[in-house]
Amino acid sequence: MNQMRVGEGTVVLLAGGGKVYTDVAARFTRSERGLSEIIASPYNADLVRSIIEKGHLAATEFDYFLFGVEGYSRVTEVQLVRKRLASYLIKSGRVQKGGKRSYDVVLPDSILPHRTDCTLPDGTTVSLGAVDLLNMLEEWYDAGVEAGYKEEDLRYLKPQATEFKALIGMNAHALLDWFKIRCCKNAQAEIRDLANKMMHLCKEAAPALFEDAGPSCVSLGYCPENEFQHPSCHVIRKKEALELLRNAAKRS
């Protein structure tokens, strides 16, 4: 069994950045010039920053980013695919590697010390930890494969710790929205790790598009979580921000 730890996942930017089409799309909607002239115009990063600051994000949907991802668990896969405005191609869990089935798992360090007494069917009590349980499942799975059982049935007992590998495609608008939620400290640790790695790659590839990308507190300037704000986060809450604005409006 191949064991990995949460935080060790790999994210590669396969496509995106370079020529930024948000710039072309923004010019197209406002400029009186012809399309060929717009396309030939030099890139204007300030224009891209301006439309993002104003919240005119429709043009950002013309920039697409493709990522290769591995070393993350099925726990994170389930949370990832909740983002509907994206494309996913997930590698089959039944792929054979060098003639032997690979049992790859991703584990958080926090649960490794936990052990508990478990009672077997014959009444025997054994102390088991996370790795012990996974080893037993791997033995059961491999024996089932050798006995001729279908893997699509055997995998019902594969743990959520099982690694998944995928290609992920999102446009810049979807990414900006996704970073607001998944880079937040309230996000589960592994998907937050994935989101942060994707965000850093986007910032390098297209700085003007993703200059202010990040959790809501970074992109909005306040925390929309209100009473659900993470304990370690001390950014002003939405309710407090609105109250300040109302008071300022009254004074003016």
* 81 phi, psi to nearest 5 deg: -75, 0
Identify the CA nearest to 10 among candidates 147, 160, 194: 194
DSSP assigned state of 91: P
Give the count of beta carbons closer than 10 Å to the beta carbon of residue 51. 19
Closest CA to 25 of 172, 244, 227: 172
Q: Which of 202, 206, 242, 204 is nearest to 221 (CA)?
A: 242
Query: Widest CA span of the chain, in angstroms?
Result: 82
**Residue 172 vs residues 63, 150, 162, 163, 169: alpha-carbon distances, Å:** 6, 40, 29, 27, 10
Task: List residues with catalytic annotation.
Answer: 182
